[in-house]
Structure 1
Amino acid sequence: MSYSKLALRICLVALVLTGLSGCFSSERATVVTDDQVLSPARPNILLILADDAGWGDFGFQGAADLRTPNLDQLALDGTIFTQAYVSASVCSPSRAGLLTGRYQQRFGHECNLEPLQARAFDSNQISIAEALRDEGYHTAAFGKWHLGEMEHQHPLRNGFDHFYGFLAGGRTYFPDPKVDRAGDPHALLDDYAQTNFEGYLTDELGDKAARYVEQRATDSRPFFAYLAFNAPHTPMEATEEDLALFPNHDRPVYAAMVYAMDRAIGRVIQSLKANGVYENTLIFFLSDNGGAHSNDSSVGPLKGWKGNQFEGGLRVPFLASWPNRLPAGNQHFGMISSLDVYATAIHAAGGTPAPALDGSSLLTLLEKGDSQAPNHEALYWRKDEMSTIRYGDHKLIHLDEFGDVVYASRNNIIDEDTNLATSDKDLHDSLSLALQAWENTLKDPIWVEGERWNEVTRHIYERLMQNDTVLYKDPAQMRNSRK
């Protein structure tokens, strides 16, 4: 497609968005009735989320130095999506988008969560757990929540029948009396009650999820389990036994943490198989954002990392498996979003019409049989001063009071070293118009991140946009660089 035709098409998208500025969403989920779902029995649904894992950090993504046999087998049993994006480059807003199927900016959950933020994770949103519970599913969440610490933000108040995990954005992997006490948001909860654990938290979460599968497998109601590991997020902690498996490794703690997470996932998969429900379980695996600069993760050939809207911060490993329905050993190369998980789950469950979503069913996409077909013509991002659009094979990143860069895809990788903003003004202007039109449909963020982080983030963007060396990546490094 010529640039002139592409620019015209992008402009038409911008006009449509402008006309829909008073609506919830520019895209709506595919709504499918029970008789359109091919499987005779509604599937169980398992959503597995890693925390700060890099795009290149699993065997099925090409990592040769890490051991992920269970995830690699799961990928062989299903479909790998090679151009999968999350809706935010940091933990909390990404989870808000994942669990609502909507751009989280639509309800003000735009920046990473501040403690005791009463308006986080808007209770007016219908979570994926609420929607599936309405369809007769039993629902459970395990692990990291990070969507608010107040009573109305608790998982049990947002569609989950059971919760075993912690409310905060992170915690230690071993028991710690400093946080393992009632009232601390880092403490482990069994529903509402503070509880203690022994051993290593990643194993604990896998064991609890596996036991839940065993308990629910014989029930007439299907189940939805959300297993949100805090691995491999900092602090970098692993068991001595796992560390011993990676002697002379370039990143031994990270390798051990990822291996432990894979082992925990394997226990859940084995429970599914042992209880005869694996074949009819729809499983998703992805990371909440790109790899962090602080945990030894790898984003492979991508530029950037967690916290910015370059590819390394937004593009994530993503696979889906459902042996009864989806082809095995499959790869899909078109652009998809974490926002699609919600719509896919409702589709698989034969759900009733959902509210306006920004995601679309991946089942519909895969049944087209075109491995290059995108599930979205365009995807959008915004966090405070930074905003981005990817439209087809082109991407624009904007930084307030600094400017824009425009990139193009080469061999399914966005080349973020070659800026086309000046050389193709029509392309730049049309992308900018479409991005502005989308932003006009949003509300202002309810809160923003602290000034120190904003200063660091601006520095990172300015340097990356100019292909310069980033001098510091967090407030501590910024302070040290100025001594």
Structure 2
Amino acid sequence: MKTAFLFASAILWAAFGFGKTESQNVIIIFTDDQGYQDLGCYGSPNISTPRIDQMAKEGMLFTDFYVASSVCSPSRAALLTGKYPAKLGINSVFWPNQPGGLDPEELTIAEMLKEVGYATMAVGKWHLGDKKEYLPTNQGFDAYYGIPYSNDMSPALDMVYDPDCLYRDGFSLEKAKEIFAKADDRNPPELKNKVPLMRDDVCIEIPVDQRTITKRFTDEGMRFISESVEADRPFFLYLAHSMPHTPLHVSKDFEGKSERSLYGDVIEEIDYNTGRLLDHLKALGVERDTLVIYSSDNGPWLNRGDHGGSALPLSKGKKSHFEGGHRVPGVMRWPARIPAGRVCSEVATTIDLLPTLAVLNGISVDGADLDVDGKDISRLMFGVEGEKTPHRHFFYKRAAVRSGDWKYHQVPPNPKRPEKAAPKPALYNLKNDISESRNVINEYPEIAERLQKALMEHVKILENYD
């Protein structure tokens, strides 16, 4: 299916000239575990984010922007493919030294855009498999520079290490092998947080200096943009920062700068570097024609205390099916097309990005039999008067569903705790109760029944992929 789609896309490019420099450039900035409230434009009382706030003023701020999973690997897979994670067989986090990853047969945004002439690069956290066949360079990206999984994990022993690899802090492969040989854990405590920095499919530094990584990721993205502009090619940059996932690290320039302690320092450094990227676009003369999207892979890791973010006024955070787990910041700026100073309260999601970018590039997804769950949200992005969400339902994995202002929770028993009774079904009106604090299922049983039916139909569909 993917091969046929790419062949058709290549024909469109050849026949109609898609992919020339007048096409929009695309940058997706994706942070890790950043909460809904952790930006000034979303109400943070103690984190200063002037550059992203300005980005929102110059573009569109989405109040109801969602990811398809409240943990990182499934969320990232969904963004890149436009599918609910269960359809990809990705329901949990990938670990180093274990098999599996995003199936290379799945069509990604990078593959789609590459076929119509884009230069493509992934920078930052990948977390969709660290074996060569799953890495970005086998998923449509021309190049990769980053950490292949979460920044709190361990080295992958079967990784290819560059002959000139920089070994830091006394690290050696021999010592690592000795530790793994004695350990029962794929993430031994002695090697925790000692993650590699990769270029393409080889390790060039281990453990990476995480104090400098936010700037280095941005530097690499800026270099790629410069090269693309010089080559007169549109570009797609997927810039996935490895923080504010713990452990938190910050450069000396941002130590102690935020009122929100170290967590705030990290966000403020990301904000500053987002500004550097935007300034770079302006300096190169491509600012007007570049769509920049800023979001997070899921809600905050609340059990990290001061080292975790805030989803207020939403309920709960990472790993939950409540709003704080799935609803995230969504800021989009494209001076040529997106009107400034707009706020959109319609439901939009990261799975919408692939079909939307397809439409913007004249690519047909509907007839390609790709089983995409996302919808074209370009009219929402462009602020078309009266435009409504294209989603009749949005599903929070198998646990909940949103339709309009209503959200229904149908929580199955926990297979790890069979003795514990499952929570009772609940219904919330998110317009009146954004914090999901008042269950109104007894007042609106017919709405609950309708949404339960939709959720069960969705679950039945997903069973075909199990």
> If the TM-score is normalised by the length of the shorter chain, which range does it land in?
0.7 to 0.9
Task: Specify which of 335, 358, 377 is matched with residue 346 of structure 1.
Answer: 358
Q: CA deviation at 1:351?
A: 2.4
Checking the alignment, whether the CA contact within 8 Å between 1:89 and 1:289 is kept in structure 2 is yes
Checking the alignment, whether the CA contact within 8 Å between 2:101 and 2:128 is kept in structure 1 is yes
For 1:338-377, what aligned pairs fall within 5 Å after superposition? 338-353=350-365, 355-367=370-382, 369-370=384-385, 373-377=388-392
Q: Kindly tell me: are residues 178 and 85 of structure 1, through their superposed partners in 2, closer, same or farther at Cα, counting changes over 3 Å?
A: farther
Secondary structure in structure 2 of the residue aligned to 1:164: strand
Q: CA deviation at 1:113?
A: 2.5
Secondary structure in structure 1 of the residue aligned to 2:87: helix
> How many Å separate the matches in 1 of 2:90 and 2:170?
29
For 1:123-142, what aligned pairs fall within 5 Å after superposition? 123-142=104-123
Root-mean-square deviation (CA), in Å?
Answer: 2.9
Secondary structure in structure 1 of the residue aligned to 2:123: strand
Deviations 1:117-172 (A, max 9, x none): 53431222101111111111111000000011112111101110000002122249
Deviations 1:331-385 (A, max 9, x none): 1111111111112222222224453321122213345623672231210122xxx
For 1:366-405, what aligned pairs fall within 5 Å after superposition? 366-367=381-382, 369-370=384-385, 373-382=388-397, 387-401=399-413, 402=422, 403-405=424-426
Q: CA deviation at 1:62?
A: 2.0
> How many Å separate the matches in 2 of 1:308 and 1:259?
26
Checking the alignment, whether the CA contact within 8 Å between 2:29 and 2:294 is kept in structure 1 is yes
Tell me if 1:269 matches 2:281: no
Tell me if 1:214 matches 2:232: no
> How many Å separate the matches in 1 of 2:109 and 2:322?
28
Task: Specify which of 44, 51, 57 is matched with residue 25 of structure 2.
Answer: 44
Q: Kindly tell me: are residues 241 and 331 of structure 1, through their superposed partners in 2, closer, same or farther at Cα, counting changes over 3 Å?
A: same
Tell me if 1:90 matches 2:71: yes
> How many Å separate the matches in 2 of 1:274 and 1:171?
36
Secondary structure in structure 2 of the residue aligned to 1:216: helix
Q: CA deviation at 1:414?
A: 3.1
Tell me if 1:321 matches 2:336: no
For 1:60-459, what aligned pairs fall within 5 Å after superposition? 60-171=41-152, 177=169, 186-196=195-205, 200-246=212-258, 249=259, 251-293=260-302, 294=304, 295-353=307-365, 355-367=370-382, 369-370=384-385, 373-382=388-397, 387-401=399-413, 402=422, 403-411=424-432, 414-443=434-463
> How many Å separate the matches in 2 of 1:374 and 1:62?
24
Checking the alignment, whether the CA contact within 8 Å between 1:89 and 1:314 is kept in structure 2 is yes
Task: Give the alignment's TM-score, normalised by structure 1.
Answer: 0.78
Checking the alignment, whether the CA contact within 8 Å between 1:85 and 1:314 is kept in structure 2 is yes
Q: CA deviation at 1:236?
A: 2.2
Count of aligned residue pairs for this structure pair: 408
Task: Give the alignment's TM-score, normalised by structure 2.
Answer: 0.81
> How many Å separate the matches in 1 of 2:329 and 2:170?
34
Q: CA deviation at 1:430?
A: 1.6
Q: CA deviation at 1:304?
A: 0.8
Paired letter, 2:32: D
Q: CA deviation at 1:316?
A: 0.4
Q: CA deviation at 1:92?
A: 0.7
Q: Kindly tell me: are residues 244 and 270 of structure 1, through their superposed partners in 2, closer, same or farther at Cα, counting changes over 3 Å?
A: same
Deviations 1:84-111 (A, max 9, x none): 1110001110001000011111121122
Q: Kindly tell me: are residues 220 and 312 of structure 1, through their superposed partners in 2, closer, same or farther at Cα, counting changes over 3 Å?
A: same
Q: Kindly tell me: are residues 165 and 77 of structure 1, through their superposed partners in 2, closer, same or farther at Cα, counting changes over 3 Å?
A: same
- When structure 1 is superposed on structure 2, of 363-372 and 257-266 the one drifting more is 363-372
Paired letter, 1:437: E
Q: CA deviation at 1:233?
A: 0.8
Q: Kindly tell me: are residues 155 and 72 of structure 1, through their superposed partners in 2, closer, same or farther at Cα, counting changes over 3 Å?
A: same
Checking the alignment, whether the CA contact within 8 Å between 1:180 and 1:187 is kept in structure 2 is no
> How many Å separate the matches in 2 of 1:180 and 1:305?
37
Deviations 1:38-70 (A, max 9, x none): x99211110110111110111111223112121
* Structure 2 unaligned blocks of 5 or more: 3-8, 154-165, 177-190, 414-421
Paired letter, 2:203: Q
Q: CA deviation at 1:175?
A: 8.8
Match of 1:10 in 2: none
Secondary structure in structure 2 of the residue aligned to 1:75: helix
Q: Kindly tell me: are residues 242 and 369 of structure 1, through their superposed partners in 2, closer, same or farther at Cα, counting changes over 3 Å?
A: same
Secondary structure in structure 1 of the residue aligned to 2:461: coil
